[in-house]
Amino acid sequence: MDKCELELETMISDLKLETLFMPRTEKKQVITSADINRPALQIAGYFNHFDSSRIQIFGMVEHDYLVEMDHDTRCRNIDRFFSYGFPCLIVTRGLSLPDDVMKLARKHGVPVLRTEKHTSAFTSRIIYYMNAKLGPQITQHGVLVEVYGEGILLLGESGVGKSETAIELIKRGHQLVADDAVIIKRVTSTRLIGTAPELIRYFIELRGIGIINVRRIFGVGAVLEQADIDMVVNIENWDVTKTYDRLGIDTQYTDILGVRLPSITVPVKPGRNLAVILEVAAMNNRQRRMGYNAAEELNKKILDDMESRQQ
């Protein structure tokens, strides 16, 4: 699993945060944990199980509690709080911190940031943002395309035809996300997004031709920077000794980063149009997600017909 880091300056820019204090350092400050914390217990002086790798957020409750606390207790608890050296403190609702709190932040070199957003709205925003930036991720050999709004991850051995299939899909109006290497990131417990490494984004390797730039040849509408991954398609050479699923009643799954994705195996042999097959697979996957399964409907009709004949 790849290790992720997020530069503090990048987060400040993306979330449009105001900087109240930023320590002077030549070393870039990075965030490594996607989790956040509202340190109500720490303000009160309880530090057991305190995770100093998390971003800390002060809302109205924390702010008012600090203001009402007597000066000596506040300084003692906040001094210990900042001594843990967490990545930053973010104050919501445009609130201002007491001068002694800001003085202690400077003493320990902890960045203090501010947003005008309400605490609940900002918390939801930053949780999603941090998961997208720092969620668990892996790099998978394969191709990611979006077909009719469905993100399809093509897996298979080198030379089986993944890139050629992607080109045919692009010609049919669909979009490429990544070829050869796909960075897969889990942003929620049920959602994966995929993108291409920056170095090879928009490029495809076609054996016999070489490297092509999809955006240059087919236009900006032929590519996406990232897409949700909705299903996995395993492409393999046709094996006459193997039995392939012909009905599709039972859904098969592939586990990636703890997320179960519906998957199918498509055997390759001369005369099969993989692009058309994947278009149908994308539409069928969307129907299944909406609760309709053609194989189950046909099976029910057959059983009902058998039952009626026996009566």
Reply yes or no on whether the pLDDT at 248 is more than 80.
Answer: no
Reply yes or no on whether the pLDDT at 270 is more than 80.
Answer: no
Q: Are strands 252-256 and 259-268 parallel, antiparallel or unpaired?
A: antiparallel
Reply yes or no on whether the pLDDT at 170 is more than 70.
Answer: yes
Residue 44 gets which letter from DSSP?
A: T
Contact call for residues 8 and 111 (beta carbons, < 8 A): yes
Instruction: Give CA–CA dist 184/195, Å, rounded.
Output: 7
Looking at domain 6-133, does it have CATH number 3.40.1390.20?
yes
> Which positions are annotated as active-site residues?
141, 162, 180, 246
Question: What pLDDT is stored for residue 150 in this prediction?
Answer: 96
Q: Give the pLDDT confidence of 79-133 residue by residue, as tens digits.
A: 999 999 999 999 999 999 999 999 999 999 999 999 999 999 999 999 989 988 8
Percent of the chain with pLDDT over 90: 73
Question: What pLDDT is stored for residue 93 in this prediction?
Answer: 96
Looking at domain 136-297, does it have CATH number 1.20.1260.10?
no
Dihedral angle sign, alpha carbons of residues 294, 300, 306, 311: negative
Domain ranges of the chain: 6-133, 136-297
SS3 137: strand
Instruction: Give CA–CA dist 65/147, Å, rounded.
Output: 52
* 73 phi/psi in degrees, rounded to 5: -65, -40
Reply yes or no on whether the pLDDT at 300 is more than 90.
Answer: no
